[in-house]
Amino acid sequence: MQRHLITSAIPYINGIKHLGNLIGSQLPADLYARYQRARGNEVLFLCATDEHGTPAELAAAKAGKPVDKYCAEMHQIQAEIAKGFGLSFDHFGRSSSPQNHALTQHFAGRLADAGLIREVSEKQVYSNADGRYLPDRYIEGTCPNCGYDRARGDQCENCTKQLDPTDLIDPRSAISGSTDLEVRETKHLYLRQSALKDDLDAWIDSKTDWPLLTTSIAKKWLHDGDGLQDRGITRDLDWGIPVRRGDADWPGMEGKVFYVWFDAPIEYIACAGEWSEANDDADWERWWRTDKGADDVRYTQFMGKDNVPFHTLSFPATLLGSGEPWKMVDHLKSFNYLNYDGGQFSTSQGRGVFMDQALDILPSDYWRWWLLSNCPETSDSEFTWDLFQQGVNKDLADVLGNFVSRVTKFCRSKFGEAVPGGAEYGPREIALIADLDARMARYCAQMDAMEVRKSAQELRAIWVAGNEYLQSSAPWTTIKEDEAQAAMQIRMGLNLIALYAALSAPFIPGASAAMQSALGLEVVDWPQDAQSALTLLPPGHAFSVPENLFAKITDEAREDWQQRFAGLRD
């Protein structure tokens, strides 16, 4: 049995996320976690809400609520939506937790003791119109590198270049749009990432199985321009983790908080502490400290490409710089962007489908299947309602749903609601078993490698193989001349449904559970081979005909949704 620690990028607290956010981290992480559990491995799958920083403050102010109350309410909402999508977190934590406060301050103290934090007097942008210092994410302007006119003060989303607010051309407040900005002097703490450049470079070089997207972004930040820069880890804000050096005060840092990008990744570890506390004697250290047993853990992170620099450089710098035996990530699976219908998803303009809206119009499996089978692994991909309709109707309704319906209804009408006996498997069935063995091996290899789209393609091919068998064997014709042969063919079909329930569970857990329930099975173990899987249901085993697994999306519904989600969400 292997042990898998799995984390997905933690979503900001400031509102409900759209489908692009979902496929960029949480959903593929859940796919992998479900698969590893099904294979009998021990899994700890963690996520949380990212609750600090200006986004939380502004969202709370807009909602007219104290920021702590707003965050508590939004955490509950995001947790419920995650449950609606079947995201199987072992714990869904909060970066504002006491555990994260203590651990963040602990790391700051360790880094300071190691000489890896320096105090800097710097010039910071103050907005007279807003009456506050503007964190770099809330200053917008034109990128001096690529000319993108909506670059943020920390990073250009277009070219991914790391920036300082004063680098921007024609800067403005992202809060009010005001250009009445002035630069004031203030003191902040910087993590001396540059001192760890060689260590980080060597560590990244050792990860030969990482996606090219991950390593290329990390290397760009390490070597482009002046190389890896030291990174500010404090901010002039009210809401956040107070700057302390372990348990001690930090002179000169009164009233400041740690930068959200310093404390947010530390929440991955703190989240395990939260899980441990909620589960009595669960030992979180065996997952996170190599001196406590985590040396045999495989740690995998899932995230969108915009999060890669912080997880390949800043967070590893924190762990390495602490001098303590923390578990470092083994594999970082990064994704490109999912765009929406010829443009981009937009939270501010309400353009695209948000997670709560998606669940309102269709069950989660529809979304899970389409998003995973079209996920943006090697390049950006695009959601359109036409593509969504085609994918659901062809894959889920016509291939899988139709197979389940045809087999169970035919059996009920000709043999009753029990698996028929009949003849032994013949040459056609033996050939199918051999074909499925080869396909199942490829499917498992692709799932192990986290090749999400290829895994979906192979799973669909396994469904198609059953349909092709049903068409070629044609039990509705066979029964006219050889009832025993037709009974065997339908027995094979029912056992194929059991196989599909097991193999499909990581992708479409709801439909998998429905198939298992219809077959009278509490749990379908992961199949070791096709031969044993296709003899799971013996003659006489009772079953029921399930309701239609997947309804087709009509043209009328597609057109309605396309208009409804074009933009301007309230």
185-216 burial, b at 16+ Cβ within 10 Å, e below that, comes to ebebbbbbbbbbbeebbebbeebeebbebbbe
Average the pLDDT over each of 65-69, 134-138, 390-394 and give the range with the smallest value.
134-138
Do the beta carbons of residue 520 and residue 537 sit within 8 Å? no
Q: How is residue 379 annotated by DSSP?
A: S
pLDDT digits (tens, 9 = 90+) for 537-546: 999 999 999 9
Query: In 3D, which of 6, 150, 194, 163 has the Cα closest to residue 88?
Result: 6
* In the predicted structure, residue 144 carries a pLDDT above the cut 70: yes
Residues 6+ apart with CB under 8 A from 541: 418, 419, 519, 520
**What residue segments make up the domains of the chain, in order of their start?**
3-116+197-226+256-335, 385-533
d(CA 496, CA 411): 14
Q: What is the pLDDT of residue 570?
A: 41
CATH superfamily of 3-116+197-226+256-335: HUPs (3.40.50.620)
User: Residue 71 annotated as binding?
Assistant: no
User: Residue 271 annotated as binding?
Assistant: no
d(CA 425, CA 437): 16
Q: What is the pLDDT of residue 162?
A: 82
Structure tokens at 136: 């770099």
| Band of pLDDT at residue 141, cut at 50, 70 and 90 | very high
Q: What is the pLDDT of residue 569?
A: 42
* In the predicted structure, residue 442 carries a pLDDT above the cut 90: yes
* In the predicted structure, residue 568 carries a pLDDT above the cut 70: no
HEC per residue, 7-64? EECCCECCCCCEHHHHHHHHHHHHHHHHHHHHCCCEEEEEEEEECCCHHHHHHHHHHC
Structure tokens at 497: 């449904």
Structure tokens at 131: 């009456």
- What percentage of the chain carries pLDDT values higher than 90? 85
Residue linked to tokens 């857990």: 509
- Give the phi and the psi of residue 448 in degrees, each rounded to 5: -60, -35
Query: Average pLDDT, stretch 429-448?
Result: 98
Query: Average pLDDT, stretch 186-214?
Result: 94
User: Residue 444 annotated as binding?
Assistant: no
* In the predicted structure, residue 278 carries a pLDDT above the cut 70: yes
- State the chain's mean pLDDT as an integer: 94
User: Residue 411 annotated as binding?
Assistant: no
Query: Average pLDDT, stretch 364-382?
Result: 97
CATH architecture of the domain formed by 385-533 = Orthogonal Bundle (1.10)
pTM: 0.92
Q: What is the pLDDT of residue 146?
A: 95
Average the pLDDT over each of 4-8, 53-57, 134-138, 274-278 and give the range with the smallest value.
134-138
d(CA 113, CA 107): 10
d(CA 355, CA 391): 19
Average the pLDDT over each of 58-62, 256-260, 387-391, 439-443 and give the range with the smallest value.
58-62
CA trace torsion 240, 242, 247, 252 (10° rounding): 160
| Band of pLDDT at residue 164, cut at 50, 70 and 90 | confident
Query: Average pLDDT, stretch 449-454?
Result: 98
Q: What is the pLDDT of residue 474?
A: 97
